[in-house]
Amino acid sequence: MTTHTDARPALTTLSEEEEMFRDAVAAFAEEEVRPIVMEMEKAVKISPALIPKYFELGLMGIEVPEEYGGAGGSLFMVTLAVEEISKVDASAAILCDVQNTLVNYPITRYGSDAQKAKYLPMLTSDTVGAYALSESGSGSDAFGLAARAEKKGDRWILNGRKLWITNGAEAGIFVIFANMNPASGYKGITAFIVERDFPGFKVGKKEDKLGIRASSTVELLLDNCEVPDENVLGPAGQGYKIAIETLNEGRIGIGAQMIGVAQGALNATVEYLNERKQFGKLLSEFQGIQFQVAQAATDLEAARLMVYNASRLRDAGRDIAREGAMAKLFASQVCERVTSLCVELFGGYGYTKDYPVEKFYRDAKIGAIYEGTSNMQLQTIAKAVLKPT
């Protein structure tokens, strides 16, 4: 089912370049992604034939400077790309989102000249990346890492396990966090750039998930994994700072994913309401339904503007810890409400896999969990709001 009823935000001005980029991504999503969404869902993996097309379109290096093969774009452009792809498939969107916000960003921001010259051209041309912070005992307590890093000569030896790593099955480059000095707490955390074929590194089991099923979510095994000293990302012991700043950017991407998912579900529902009749009338003619759709569209527009605002602030060099948390929190809440409503408005059909809204509904839930749960976003917001002036 396709539709062309997408709402375009009236209060957010897009430049001509941004509009062209958005429309190009929307066309890509319709032409290349939509025809294989259910095929990927059933196979529980992203189509290998699709990934090279992301690189060809420049979607895997949107913010990376042109000298490294990137588009030299903005976080706002990443936001637009993730939103448009999410209207069609959240799994396809998160592949692009993680690459840009969680992998390219920290390497561009904190990488040495040699690291940027080596890895960014790979990440913009043909290599998928992944970000590995979470562990079985450190989810919301992200800095309670059990993974250890020990310096031995010109190498670091990493040991531990990472869980819930998005893009892990496809990735060739990983940004991994481990603690080199547990006695120092979070001040011992260090970031490393790890290649898939480094000795002692292995990709473990793939999770069987409720939603975003085509997106790979895996565990990583570090068994005396050998990492060259030149692959330490940023100063040793500053991994916590890199992780925080990276997640602040990443939360904008998740907000974009959520508004895209909600819009995709709403688009499909509006089309259905204008076709389905009950009691001799189109469902769209019943005032009770009209008001519910109106409220959903209003909430969604508010969420979109929050996400857009946060990304614009970030591009302007502003601190977005509060705005990013607010955008992700609200967008994920709205997405759950809107997709749930869409299932209900489809009636019995909405509960079947013959129509797309049940998938949008399942995909919506992850927004309240990854890259910081809703409770963690509330904590971040509360600290900012209640900070003494």
Q: What is the enclosing helix (H) or strand (E) of 17?
A: helix 16-28
pTM value surpassing 0.85: yes
Q: What is the pLDDT, as a whole number, of residue 11?
A: 44
Q: What is the pLDDT, as a whole number, of residue 241?
A: 96
User: Using an 8 Å Cβ cutoff, are 220 and 203 in contact?
Assistant: yes
* d(C-alpha 94, C-alpha 39), whole Å: 17
- Record: fold of 16-128: Butyryl-Coa Dehydrogenase, subunit A; domain 1 (1.10.540)
Q: What is the pLDDT, as a whole number, of residue 13?
A: 80
Listed as ranges, residues in the chain with pLDDT below 50 are 1-5, 7-11
Domain residue limits, the chain: 16-128, 130-237, 241-385
- How distant is the alpha carbon of residue 277 from its chain centre? 38
* d(C-alpha 318, C-alpha 291), whole Å: 38
CB-count burial class (<10 Å; 0-12, 13-18, 19+) for 231: buried
Q: What is the enclosing helix (H) or strand (E) of 382?
A: helix 374-385
Q: Is 371 a catalytic residue?
A: yes
Q: What is the pLDDT, as a whole number, of residue 142?
A: 79
The one catalytic residue among 219, 249, 323, 371: 371
* d(C-alpha 293, C-alpha 300), whole Å: 10
Q: What is the pLDDT, as a whole number, of residue 231?
A: 98
Contacts for 387 with CB less than 8 Å, ≥ 6 apart: none
Q: What is the pLDDT, as a whole number, of residue 324?
A: 97
Instruction: Give the total residue count for the chain.
Output: 389
The DSSP bridge partners found for residue 159 are 148
Q: In this structure, what DSSP letter does residue 138 have?
A: B
- Record: fold of 241-385: Butyryl-CoA Dehydrogenase, subunit A; domain 3 (1.20.140)
Q: What is the pLDDT, as a whole number, of residue 125?
A: 98
Of the chain, the percentage scoring pLDDT greater than 70 comes to 97
- Record: fold of 130-237: Butyryl-CoA Dehydrogenase, subunit A; domain 2 (2.40.110)
Q: What is the pLDDT, as a whole number, of residue 6?
A: 52
